[in-house]
Structure 1
């Protein structure tokens, strides 16, 4: 897991791929998750946020509403 400035909240290993996950309140800037996707050569990244209203995939980022987990 990489936490802190320029890092993401979680890294999940799926077989031989690392999937970065960013979780937060408010609008999330895609720059942080994009850097992690490139750094770990991930096929995609996941952003979980309370400002996301539906599950959708834009380019190589999957956006998931925080309410999906409650």
Structure 2
């Protein structure tokens, strides 16, 4: 479930897909079903919604600009 949520985030942030497109393309998301699928979507949605706050919290802790950090790590 966490892997599916991470893949959704990767597809939206790195590949510039909408969340709906990412859900249609994500193999890890397709492998889960029912409540787990809903929870993975909720995790990804919450992370995207709070991305600005997450970035603000991380920026002072990084030795390089946030834009230089891979979305997979971020």
Q: TM-score, normalised by structure 2?
A: 0.32
Q: If you compute each CA radius of gyration, which structure gives the higher value, 1 or 2? A: 2
Q: TM-score, normalised by structure 1?
A: 0.33
Which structure's residues are more often helix, by fraction? 2
Higher relative contact order (CA 8 A, sep 6+): 2
Which structure's residues are more often strand, by fraction? 1
